[in-house]
Amino acid sequence: MRSTRGTPRQEASPGGNGIFAPLRQATFRNMWLSNTLSNIGSLIQSVAAAWTMAGMSTADDVALVQTASFLPLAILALPAGAIADNYDRRKVQIASLSLACAGTALMTLASIMGLMSPWELLGFCFLIGCGGAITGPARGASVGEQVPRELLSQAVGLNNISYNVARSVGPALGGLIVATFGATVAFAANTLSYLPMLISLRRWKRVAEAPRLPPEGLVRAVNSGVRYMVNMPTVRRAVLRGFLVCLLGGVLQALLPLIARDLLHGDARTFGLLLGCFGIGAVSGIFVLQRVQKAIGNEHTVRACCLVMAGTLAVLAYSRMVLLDIAVLFAAGMAWMVVTTTMSIAVQLSVPRWVMGRAIATFSASTSLGVAAGAWLWGLVAQGHGVSAAYQLAAAALLLSPALGLFLRIADRSSSTETDDRVLGDPDVKLEVGGRSGPISIELEYRIPSDKAQSFYRLMQEVQSARTRNGAYDWSLSRNLADPEHWSERFRCPTWDDYLRLRGRRTLEDSALHRRANDMHIGIEPIKVQRWLDRPFGSARRRDEGNPARIEA
């Protein structure tokens, strides 16, 4: 697989590991600042698009602006994550941001020419969202290349706060621009906001490591990412929980233009002010995030934030006072930032570097799909029963959502998952095989004392999960009827290259599992490993001259 690394990791500075420590790293700081400016531009455009739609269509179409912006994240996230894990993340970001910039330029041109209709507006939002969807996983996976690994958690939090800093400034600025100069100027401002990020990416001196194996095909890379998430319980639970929380909480921003217009009888400035207060609350959340997580753990943090959001939605449903809405939106922004960041950090700390882009993409897809589906759902409710009723129903659902923790618990983890970099011995292979030869079957034979059979069986269930998420299939465990101490573990890989990738993907936790299995093995002989080429037709047609296989990992 084409694995690239960024510039060599820098040592953590002696100033400590506080939330702002990653900003001491020059590359990360430049990316963070330019990304914040880009996010401000995106929020200015969001205000302009939502308010433009509110002026020419109905409540369900207003909510569809949110759907059109987030749906690309749900559709393209997994392919984008596979691209981020297989190709140069710097170049991926440059290409995708250029696409988004072109989309905003076309949107500005259409607005200048007076060609904007509801469907054209949604189409432009979708196109710009596509650029953002491809950028996101590459940007998120690049963080580990820009800061020391012990600062990864803080860097993820700062990346989330970047968007929330923008959310505290961009909406208010967008509302002011739209009310004073019109939506066209707001669209143009977003176009210009992409330039600092593109410049920072071109200045990033990223050092690429020569790939040891050819890259996985896109479909196979997506499949391997999905397989890893499905077989990693901590990630699977966080992804599903993120979808459900965003499905219920997506009503907040999707229908906020209607809160400003219909319940508060305001204009674009009112809408921008409300969004800005939500963003200020989200920024403030970063200062309590670590303290709350340390005090009550991830799961209780998520539950508490859902209860806070339920209360804010209930207040918004009945309030007709701008000041009261501002106060509750501050609390809602803080809760939203803390809950989404908590789940995002849980995902990123649970996966190794080789699948980081796909993990970020999977979580982004789940939350984006939740927001997009929630915007559509609550838009229909608002169209049929009113904005206040939609907020009341969402508040009731969020009030019950802590019960999700009974079967979708968010795990606590304080350190990142690291790949085991120790080099394994070369496989004992004398048959000539290529990277695409396969399938390959692997068999390991153990001798386990009868009194440890139950413990060994439970351990091998964990080994099965590790092998499966790293690329193996058809895993099985057998016990010899005539010799109960004799056990056999078998699994397959599609090709020789896939087997080599599996060997290189083991984490420190995976290696610890294998060592525990090795320690239970008894006897003079070591664990016997056999490797089989399941379809040896090509090798049988060639003269076997004992040429060794191509060993690359």
CATH of the domain at 147: 1.20.1250.20
User: Which of 3-7, 276-280, 345-349, 450-454 shows the lowest mean pLDDT across its residues?
Assistant: 3-7
| Strand partners of residue 533 | 440
- Is pLDDT above 70 for 211? no
Q: Judge whether 425 lies within some domain.
A: no
134 three-class SS: helix
Quick one: 38 and 155 in the same domain? yes
Amino acid found at 272: G
Q: What is the mean pLDDT of the chain?
A: 82
Domain boundary (406, 432, 451) is at: 406
Quick one: 399 and 449 in the same domain? no
Q: Judge whether 235 lies within some domain.
A: yes
Residue 456: what pLDDT? 94
Domain with 355, as residue range(s), is 21-406
Residue 462: what pLDDT? 92
455 three-class SS: helix
- Is pLDDT above 60 for 13? no
Quick one: 380 and 481 in the same domain? no
Domain boundary (406, 430, 462) is at: 406
Sign of CA dihedral 313, 314, 318, 320: negative
pLDDT in tens, 417-446: 777 777 677 787 888 788 788 799 999 999
Nearest alpha-carbon partner for 31 in 149, 187, 165, 139: 139
Give 482: exposed, middle or buried? Use CB within 10 Å, 0-12, 13-18, 19+: exposed
Query: Where do we find the tokens 């330019």?
Result: 34
Nearest alpha-carbon partner for 221 in 354, 352, 89, 346: 354
Q: Judge whether 413 lies within some domain.
A: no
Q: Would you place residue 305 in the very low, low, confident or very high pLDDT band (cuts 50, 70, 90)?
A: very high
Higher pLDDT, 41 or 56: 41
Quick one: 249 and 300 in the same domain? yes
Residue 454: what pLDDT? 93
Residue 290: what pLDDT? 77
- The total of structural domains in the chain comes to 2
Quick one: 193 and 110 in the same domain? yes
CA distance 410 to 349: 12
Residue 238: what pLDDT? 92
Q: Would you place residue 400 in the very low, low, confident or very high pLDDT band (cuts 50, 70, 90)?
A: very high
- Is pLDDT above 60 for 449? yes
Higher pLDDT, 33 or 205: 33
Q: Would you place residue 5 in the very low, low, confident or very high pLDDT band (cuts 50, 70, 90)?
A: very low
Compute the average pLDDT of residues 187-192.
Answer: 90
Residue 60: what pLDDT? 64
pLDDT in tens, 339-359: 988 898 888 888 887 888 788
The percentage of residues in the chain with a pLDDT greater than 90, rounded to a whole number, is 17
- Is pLDDT above 80 for 58? no
Q: Judge whether 411 lies within some domain.
A: no
Higher pLDDT, 80 or 512: 512
- Check if the beta carbon of residue 262 is closer than 8 Å to that of residue 268: no
Residue 507 DSSP label: B
Looking at residue 496, which CATH number applies to its domain? 3.30.70.100
Higher pLDDT, 330 or 55: 330
Question: Measured between alpha carbons, how far apart are the two ends of the chain, in Å?
Answer: 10
Higher pLDDT, 114 or 313: 313
pLDDT in tens, 357-398: 788 878 888 887 888 788 888 888 888 888 889 999 999 999
**Residue-level length of the chain:** 553
113 three-class SS: coil
CA atoms within a 13 Å half-sphere pointing along the CA-CB vector of 438: 18
Quick one: 373 and 466 in the same domain? no
Q: Judge whether 547 lies within some domain.
A: no
- Strand order of the sheet with strand 440-447? 473-479, 486-493, 440-447, 528-533
Quick one: 376 and 254 in the same domain? yes
CA distance 16 to 20: 9
- Where residue 474 falls (left for φ over 0; alpha for ψ -120 to 50; beta otherwise) is left
The percentage of residues in the chain with a pLDDT greater than 70, rounded to a whole number, is 90
- Check if the beta carbon of residue 97 is closer than 8 Å to that of residue 194: yes
- Is pLDDT above 60 for 140? yes
Residue 209: what pLDDT? 60
Compute the average pLDDT of residues 103-108.
Answer: 89
Quick one: 401 and 500 in the same domain? no
Strands 473-479 and 528-533: unpaired
CA distance 319 to 514: 59
Q: Judge whether 424 lies within some domain.
A: no
Quick one: 365 and 444 in the same domain? no
- Alpha helices (H) along 319-427: 322-348, 356-385, 387-400
Q: What are the backbone angles phi and psi of residue 531, rounded to the nearest 5°?
A: -125, 135
Cβ within 8 Å of residue 329, ≥6 positions away:
274, 277, 278, 281, 312, 316
- Is pLDDT above 90 for 240? yes
Quick one: 505 and 361 in the same domain? no
- Is pLDDT above 60 for 549? no
Looking only at Cα atoms, what is the longest distance across the chain? Answer: 86
Count of helix runs (H) and strand runs (E) in the chain? 18, 4
Q: Would you place residue 12 in the very low, low, confident or very high pLDDT band (cuts 50, 70, 90)?
A: very low
- Give the tokens for residue 162: 């970047």
CA distance 501 to 489: 19
pLDDT in tens, 251-261: 887 788 888 88
Quick one: 51 and 151 in the same domain? yes
Compute the average pLDDT of residues 88-116.
Answer: 87
Residue 538: what pLDDT? 55
Quick one: 62 and 197 in the same domain? yes
SS3 content of the chain, % helix, strand, coil (to 5): 70, 5, 25
CA distance to 344, 404, 501, 509, 548, per residue, from 532 (Å) = 40, 45, 17, 27, 14
- Helices 233-249 and 268-318: crossing angle in degrees, nearest 10, is 100
Q: Judge whether 422 lies within some domain.
A: no
Q: Judge whether 190 lies within some domain.
A: yes
Residue 213: what pLDDT? 67
Domain boundary (358, 383, 406) is at: 406
Q: Would you place residue 228 in the very low, low, confident or very high pLDDT band (cuts 50, 70, 90)?
A: confident
Residue 516: what pLDDT? 92
Q: Would you place residue 69 in the very low, low, confident or very high pLDDT band (cuts 50, 70, 90)?
A: confident
| Strand partners of residue 531 | 442
- Give the tokens for residue 444: 């390991």
